[in-house]
Amino acid sequence: MSGSEPAPLNEFDSSLELRSRAMAWVIGTLVVALVFLVWILPRFGIRLLPGNLPSWAPLGMLLLLWVLEVRVLALLRRGAKAAARPGLELLVSVTEVTAVSGVLALAAGYVEPPVVVLFSPGAWLYFPLIGVATLTLRPMIVATTGILSAVQYALLAWWLVPRSIPGSDLPQVFFSPGLHIDKAIVLLATTAVGAAVCWDLRRRMKRVVRAARERQHIIDLFGQQTAPEVVDALLDSGGEVVPERREVGILFLDIRGFTGEAERTPPEEVVARLDAFFERVIPKVTENGGIVHQLLGDGLMAIFGAPVAHEDDARRALRTAIEIADLLENSVAAGQLRPTEVVMGVHFGEVVAGPVGSRDHKEYKVTGDAVNVAARLETLAKERGATILSSRRAVEAAGYGVEAFEDLGCVTIRGRAAELGLVKVR
C-alpha cells in the first residue's frame, strides 16, 4: 500500500457548508433582532439604539452578508470545485470581519464619546466569527479571520480613542489604549487556540481516514468475511501483502446433493437457503482465524495461515470442520435449518499466497498442489460417504494421532504421483 497522504477529506468540504449554514442562520437571527429593536420596541417607548443612528446602515450590511452566505452555500451545494472552496470561505471571512468593523466605525459617528462602540455588543462579534471559522477545519481561514479581527479592532481603537474626550459619566479605563491593546491580544490568543485545534483535528481525521482506507483495502483484497483479527494483524504489519510461500491449512466444503435440489427449487428459495447456511458456517471460519478464500456456489474454500500465520493452522482447519459439522447437526435438530448434509476435505501443505490480478483489480489467491489435494479430498469424501475427510499430514500437523480417527490407508489421486494418506474424521 502507498504511504502517501490521503486526499482532502469530504468531511473538510462539508465543514465549509456547515460554517456557511451556521453563519446564514446567525446573520438571519441578527436581522430579525435588529428589526425588533428598531421598529417594534420603540413603539412601546423602549430605545436600545442611539436615536440618531440610521437603522438602514447595520440592517443593510447584515442583509448583504446574509445574501453572501446564502450564495456561497448554494455554490458549495452545487459542487464548487474543491480548489475554489477555501478561496470562497476566505473571501467570506474577510468580508464578515470587515463588515463588523464597518458597522462599528459607522456607529461611532452617532454616539458620544465614539470609543463607546468598542464596548458595545457589536465589538464582541469578532470572537464568534473566529469560533465559526473553526468549523471549516482550516487553520489558514481561522488565522486570517483572527488576525484581521485583531488588526481592524486595533485600528478602530487607534482612530477612536484620541477622538473621544473623557467624560465624568464613563470610567477612565474606557479611554485607556492599553485596554484595547489587551483585547486585541486576546483576539490573537483565541485565534492561535482555534487554529491549533483545527490543525490537530485535521491531523487526527487524516490518520483515521488513512487507517480506514488501509482496512478497506485489506477487506477488498481478502473479502468481507475476513476475521477482524486478521485485518488488525495486517494493519499492524503495515498492510503490505506480497506473494510468498506458506504452509497453510485448507478446507473445502460442499453441500451434498444441493445441485440437484436447486434445479427443482425456485431461485429465491435457493438464495435464501444458501444465506441461512453461510450465515452459520462463515463465522466458524473467522472465529478460528481463517479467511473465506472463495464462495463456490453451494460451498466454500477457507484457508488458515495466510495472510497471517499461526503455530496451529492445521489444527484450526480441522477444528473448524468439526465445529461446522456439529453446528449444522444441532441447527437441523433444532429446526433452525432445513436438513443439510455437507462434505469437507482438509489438507495442510505449502502454497504460494499473495495478490493476483491487474493493477486495477487484484484478489488474494493461494495456489499450489496443496489446494488441488484439498479439493480432491472433498470429492473423495462424497465418494466414501464421509462428512470430513482429511489428509494424514493435516491430522499429524494438527497434533492429533491418526488412531484418534479412522485411518483409510493411502490412495493415489489423479495428477499426483505420490500416495496420499486418508483419515476419516467424521
Answer yes or no: is 204 within a domain. Answer: yes
Both 419 and 284 in a single domain?
Answer: yes
- Selected residue with higher pLDDT from 320 and 64: 320
Both 173 and 286 in a single domain?
Answer: no
Q: How far is CA 384 from CA 196, 325, 380, 389, 423, in A?
A: 70, 17, 6, 9, 11
Answer yes or no: is 137 within a domain. Answer: yes
- Selected residue with higher pLDDT from 213 and 391: 391
Both 132 and 90 in a single domain?
Answer: yes
Of 71-80, 266-275, 280-289, 401-410, minimum mean pLDDT range? 71-80
The pLDDT of 309-334, averaged and rounded, is 91
Answer yes or no: is 228 within a domain. Answer: no
Both 150 and 270 in a single domain?
Answer: no
pLDDT band (50, 70, 90) for residue 1: very low
DSSP E strand boundaries for 117-238: none
Answer yes or no: is 229 within a domain. Answer: no
pLDDT at 42 over 80: no
Answer yes or no: is 292 within a domain. Answer: yes
- Selected residue with higher pLDDT from 407 and 184: 184
Q: How many domains does the chain have?
A: 2
Both 267 and 139 in a single domain?
Answer: no
Q: What is the pLDDT of residue 9?
A: 43
Distance CA 396, CA 391 (A): 9
Both 18 and 101 in a single domain?
Answer: yes
Of 3-17, 121-135, 245-259, 345-359, minimum mean pLDDT range? 3-17
- Selected residue with higher pLDDT from 59 and 94: 94
Answer yes or no: is 231 within a domain. Answer: no
Q: What is the pLDDT of residue 354?
A: 79
CATH of the domain at 415: 3.30.70.1230
Q: What is the pLDDT of residue 294?
A: 83
Q: What cell does 113 get?
A: 464619546
- Selected residue with higher pLDDT from 402 and 100: 100
Helix (H) or strand (E) holding 198: helix 177-222
pLDDT at 51 over 80: no
pLDDT at 8 over 50: no
CA 86, distance to chain mean position in Å, is: 23
Pairing of strands 420-424, 406-411: antiparallel
pLDDT at 202 over 70: yes
- Selected residue with higher pLDDT from 13 and 4: 13
Question: Which residues share a beta bridge with 254?
Answer: 299, 343
Residue 365 belongs to domain spanning: 241-424
Distance CA 336, CA 321 (A): 20
Both 160 and 37 in a single domain?
Answer: yes
Boundary residue ending a domain (216, 249, 277): 216
Distance CA 244, CA 235 (A): 18
Helix (H) or strand (E) holding 341: none
pLDDT at 61 over 80: no
- Selected residue with higher pLDDT from 32 and 235: 32
Both 23 and 170 in a single domain?
Answer: yes
Both 193 and 266 in a single domain?
Answer: no
Q: What is the pLDDT of residue 316?
A: 94
φ and ψ of 244, to 5 deg? -160, 160
Comparing CA positions, the residue from 407, 258, 264, 283 lying closest to residue 342 is 258
Distance CA 108, CA 404 (A): 97
Both 212 and 245 in a single domain?
Answer: no
pLDDT band (50, 70, 90) for residue 241: low
Both 210 and 274 in a single domain?
Answer: no
203-227 pLDDT tens trace: 888 887 777 776 666 666 555 555 5
| Burial zone of 204 (CB within 10 Å; 0-12 exposed, 13-18 middle, 19+ buried) | exposed
Boundary residue ending a domain (151, 182, 216): 216
pLDDT at 405 over 60: yes
Answer yes or no: is 369 within a domain. Answer: yes
The pLDDT of 378-382, averaged and rounded, is 90
Answer yes or no: is 279 within a domain. Answer: yes
Q: What is the pLDDT of residue 167?
A: 61
pLDDT at 57 over 80: no
Boundary residue ending a domain (181, 216, 251): 216
Both 208 and 306 in a single domain?
Answer: no
